[in-house]
Structure 1
Amino acid sequence: MNAHVDPFIRPAGRHQRAEGEANVSLRARPDGVIGLGRLRQQGSAKAISLLSGRTGEIVFLNTAGGLTSGDRLSYALQAAPGLSATATTQTAERAYRAPSGPAQMVVSHRVGQGARLDWLPQETILFDGASLERRTEIALEGDAACLMLEAVVMGRAAMGETLARVHLSDRRYILRDGAPVLVEPLRLETAALTAGPAVLDSARAFATLAFVAAGAEDALAPVRRVLDEPGTSGAASGWDGRLVVRLLAVDGWPLRRQILRLLAVLRPGPLPRVWQM
C-alpha cells in the first residue's frame, strides 16, 4: 500500500511503532461442529475465538490501544466451506494524531463455498490530526455470503472533541471467485469537514453496511422500514444479490442504535457479545 502524507504532517524523530498481525482459520470437524484450524498472533494484534456448535465468533483486538504514524495492523480470517462465522473487534479502533505519516491497516478475509461471514467491526474513531490508510478485502468462493460494516465517528462529542484536520483512505472490496462484486473507495480529507450537503452535511458519524448473498435485495423493504432512528439519516438500495445501506448521524451513539436495528433485520442470530448494549 502506498502511503499518502497530507501537507499538514511534519517530519518527526524516530519513535517506537506498533505492528500487529492476527490470522485465524476456522474449519468444520467431521461431526459438523466448528473448530479452530489455525491461530497466528504477532505483536499488538490478538484474536479471541468464541466457538459454539456450528457457529463461530472471532474477536480481534489491538493491544496498542490505537493507531498513529507508522503503525501497521493486520487482521485475517479464513472460513472453511459451509461454516457460519462472525468477526468483530473488541472495542472501537482509535486513529490518533499522526504527525509523521499515516497508520496502515489491512483486513483480509476469505469465505469458502456455502459459508457466510459477518464482518462487523466496531466503529473507528478519528481524532484531530488522524491519518489512516485502510484496505478491507473479503474474498467469497462460489455461493458464499457476507455482511460487511464500516462505521466512522469523527471525535467524541461527549468529550467536546472536534476535528480540524484529518486524512482517511478507506478502500473496501468484496470479490466473488476473484471478480469484484462491490468496490467502495472512500477518501476523507480536511476539506470534507465543512463541505456541506454534498459531503457530510455537518454529520459527525457515518457508516456503510453491505450484504452480499443470493437474494440479498429481498431484504430491501424490511431494511427501509427501520431507517428512522432519531439523529440519523440513511438510504438503502438493492440489486443482483447485493444490498447497500449508507448512514449519516449527528454522533456515534444514534449511529450505533441505527446499526443495531439494521443488524436485527439482516442477521439470523444474536449480536456479537461485545456489541451488546
Structure 2
Amino acid sequence: MFDETPTHAQMQRVAGRAGAVIGPGGRLERLWQQGSAKAMLPKMHGRAPEVVFLNTAGGLTGGDRLDYRLEVAADTVAVGTTQTAERAYRSSGGAARVETRLVVGPGAKLHWLPQEVIVFDGAALDRRLSVDMAEDAELVVLETLVLGRAAMGERLTDIALIDRREVIRGGRLAMVEAIRLGPDDLTRAGAAGLSGAVAVATLTLFAPDALDRLERLRAVLLSEGPVRAAASGWDGRVVARFMAHEAWPLRRTVARAVETLTNGPLPRVWQI
C-alpha cells in the first residue's frame, strides 16, 4: 500500500558569499566565492578592472541569503556590477536578504553599477548596502528597481520590499536612505507614492569634485522625454533620481547619466 500521508518538503534555499579585493594598480589580491554567489573578472584592455557578481540560482525567493563584498585599495580604480538583472520571485515564507559591503581606500575610485532588480508579485526582499570610504575617495552608487514584468502585462499588487543604503565617509555618517514598499505604495498617487511608475532608480556620486559635474548631468536629464528625473548636489555629493512607466526608457536614461557622471564607459556586461 502507498502511504498517502501528506508531507511538507523543506524547500532548498540559496546561500552564497562572493567578494574581491582590488589592490594597487588594479591587481586582484583576493577573490572568494561560495554557494550560488560568484565573482568574475573579465579581461579588460585599457579600462579599469571590473568585478562582475552573479547569482547562479537564477533569482531570489523567501529565505535566500546573498553576501557580496568589494574592496578597492588606495589610489586604485575599479568597477563593480552584476552580470544581469536580479529577480525577486514570489515568497512562500520570509524575505530574501542581500547584503553588499563596499570599502574604498584613500584616493581610490569605485563605481558600483549593478543592473536592475526585477520584483515579481508576491516577492519579499530585504537589501542592505553599506559603504566605508575615505574622505578623498570617489564613489558612484546606482540602484534600480523594476516593479513587475511589463512584457507580460504584470502589475504588482503585493510586495514587501526594504532597501537600505548607508555610506560612511571619512569616518562620519554621510548618507542613510531607507525605502520600504508595500501593497499600498503601489497605488498611492502624489509625491509620496510612485504615481504609476514601474521603474525607479537612484544614482549617487561622492567625490571632491562632485558639484562640478552637476550641470552636465542636469543637461542630460533635461533631454529625456518619457522619464521623470532630477538631480541635486551638496556637501561633496550629487544625487539623481529617476522614475518611468516603462523599464527600457529608464534604463537608457540611467545609462547616459552614468556615463556623464563617471566620465567613462558603461560596464561591458551592460546591454544598451
Candidates 103, 108, 114, aligned match of 2:96? 103
Helix, strand or coil for the counterpart of 1:46? strand
Query: Any residues of structure 2 matched to 1:107-256 within 5 Å, and which?
Result: 107-198=100-191, 199-227=193-221, 228-256=223-251
Helix, strand or coil for the counterpart of 2:41? strand
Helix, strand or coil for the counterpart of 2:181? strand
| Matched letter for residue 22 of structure 2 | L
Distance in 2 (alpha carbons) for counterparts of 1:112 and 1:255: 32
* Partner in structure 2 of residue 20 of structure 1: 16
Deviates more, 1:208-217 or 1:46-55: 46-55
8 Å CA contact 2:26, 2:78 repeated in 1: no
Shift, 1:54, TM fit: 7.1
More strand by share: 1
Distance in 1 (alpha carbons) for counterparts of 2:178 and 2:51: 26
TM-score of the aligned structures, taking structure 2 as reference length: 0.93
| Matched letter for residue 244 of structure 2 | A
| Higher Cα Rg, which structure | 2
Deviates more, 1:126-135 or 1:220-229: 220-229
Runs of 4+ in 1 over 4 A off after TM superposition: 51-54
| Matched letter for residue 159 of structure 2 | V
Distance in 2 (alpha carbons) for counterparts of 1:54 and 1:224: 26
Shift, 1:197, TM fit: 1.7
Q: What RMSD, in angstroms, separates the aligned Cα atoms of the two structures? A: 1.3
TM-score of the aligned structures, taking structure 1 as reference length: 0.91
* Partner in structure 1 of residue 254 of structure 2: 259
* Partner in structure 1 of residue 40 of structure 2: 48
Shift, 1:269, TM fit: 2.1
Distance in 2 (alpha carbons) for counterparts of 1:262 and 1:144: 20
Query: Any residues of structure 2 matched to 1:24-43 within 5 Å, and which?
Result: 24-28=20-24, 33-43=25-35
Distance in 1 (alpha carbons) for counterparts of 2:168 and 2:47: 25
Shift, 1:243, TM fit: 0.3
* Partner in structure 2 of residue 3 of structure 1: none
Shift, 1:63, TM fit: 0.2
Seen in structure 2, the aligned counterparts of structure 1 residues 249 and 202 have a Cα distance that, compared at 3 Å, is: same
Shift, 1:59, TM fit: 0.4
8 Å CA contact 1:34, 1:51 repeated in 2: no
* Partner in structure 1 of residue 3 of structure 2: none
Deviates more, 1:161-170 or 1:223-232: 223-232
Runs of at least 5 residues in structure 1 that lack an aligned partner in the other structure: 1-11
Distance in 2 (alpha carbons) for counterparts of 1:196 and 1:13: 42
Q: Please list the CA deviations of residues 122-160 of structure 1 after superposition, one character each: whole Å capped at 9, or x if unmatched.
A: 000000000000100121023111000000000111121
Aligned length: 262
| Matched letter for residue 205 of structure 1 | A
Distance in 2 (alpha carbons) for counterparts of 1:54 and 1:203: 35
8 Å CA contact 1:34, 1:54 repeated in 2: no
* Partner in structure 1 of residue 264 of structure 2: 269
Shift, 1:113, TM fit: 0.6
